[in-house]
Amino acid sequence: MSDINNQMVDKYRNNFLKEVEANVEEGDWVKMCMQCGVCSGSCPMGPYWDHPPQELFMMIRAGKREEVLSSSSMWMCTSCYNCIARCPRELPITHIMHGLAHYAKRLGIAPKEQPTLKFSQKFWDNLMVNGRVNELKLGIALYFIDGFAQGVKNALAAAGLGLGMYKAKRLNPFEILGGHSIKDKSGFQAMIKKAQEIEEARISGNAK
């Protein structure tokens, strides 16, 4: 477990709601949930969540820190925004789910083998290189997400689809050589670095 996680445990003790309010994107909305369950009933991935959003909100208030942050639940969010559109209290539920997922990962207590966590990280890393997504490299990275042998199997299984995309001119094998890119990569990277530093400073400041 990371230092920052231990510091947060020390700092907030039994008040996980306060911790979420201060550190999770849109977390200050959590206390507004009235437990109606519309979000959980509206979720296309509903059956696959260990704890649907409504339950996560109650667990946060009940101080179930570890159960919430180590859960794979919020990584089931497809960002369909059904819950946001329907919530009678207008909680930005989609964003809170992303925020909880990101916070858990930041603290190093998110489930390591969660497939969407891995894909989401690959997506971010991919776009950081050129400022734009390289779909070919992202696809290849995805096939090999569970190791080399599985990767070869996955790539072969998807060969038909890849060929179809190529024939439709929607996949370019030459993207492997670099691909589409922005021009001002150094400015772009400096900007992201700064944004990360500001966020990092705010959260580690909260942990003290």
Partner 1 sequence: MAKEYSFYPGCSSQKGTSGSNLQTSINTVCDTLDIKLNEIPDWNCCSASIGYSGGGELPRLALSARNIALSEQNNPGQEIVATCAACWLATRETKERIEGSEEVREGTEAALKEAHLSISKEMPKVRHMTEVLIEDIGFEAMKEKVVRPLEGIKIAGYVGCQTNRPFGIDGESFENPKYLDNMVEAMGAESCPTYEKKVSCCGGALAFSEPEKSQALVKGIIESAYDHGADMIVTPCPVCQLNVEAYQDNINATYGTKFNIPVTYYSTLMAVAYGKSSKEAGLDGLMIKAKQLEAITSK
- Dihedral sign, Cα of residue 137, residue 142, residue 147, residue 153: negative
List 4, 9, 59, 84, residue binding partner 1 (CB under 8 A): 84
170 binds partner 1 (CB under 8 A): yes
Window contacting partner 1 (CB under 8 A); options: 7-15, 29-37, 52-60, 170-178: 170-178
Q: What is the DSSP letter of 202?
A: H
168 binds partner 1 (CB under 8 A): yes
137 binds partner 1 (CB under 8 A): no
Classify each residue of 89-106 as buried b or exposed e, where b means 16 or more C-beta atoms within 10 Å of its C-beta: eebbbbbbbbbbbbbbbb
List 70, 159, 187, 204, residue binding partner 1 (CB under 8 A): 187
101 binds partner 1 (CB under 8 A): yes
| Residues 173 and 166: beta-carbon distance below 8 Å | yes
Name the token pair of 45.
């991935």
41 binds partner 1 (CB under 8 A): no
Window contacting partner 1 (CB under 8 A); options: 6-14, 28-36, 49-57, 118-126: 118-126
161 binds partner 1 (CB under 8 A): yes
> In 3-state terms, what secondary structure has residue 13?
coil
Q: Is 56 exposed, middle or buried (0-12, 13-18, 19+ CB in 10 A)?
A: buried
Return the half-sphere exposure (C-beta side, CA atoms, 13 A cut-off) of residue 207. 18
Interacting residues toward partner 1 by CB under 8 A:
25, 44-45, 48, 76, 78-82, 84-86, 94, 98-99, 101-102, 105-106, 115-121, 123-125, 127-128, 131-133, 135, 142, 160-161, 164-165, 167-172, 174-175, 180, 182-184, 187-188, 190-196, 198-199
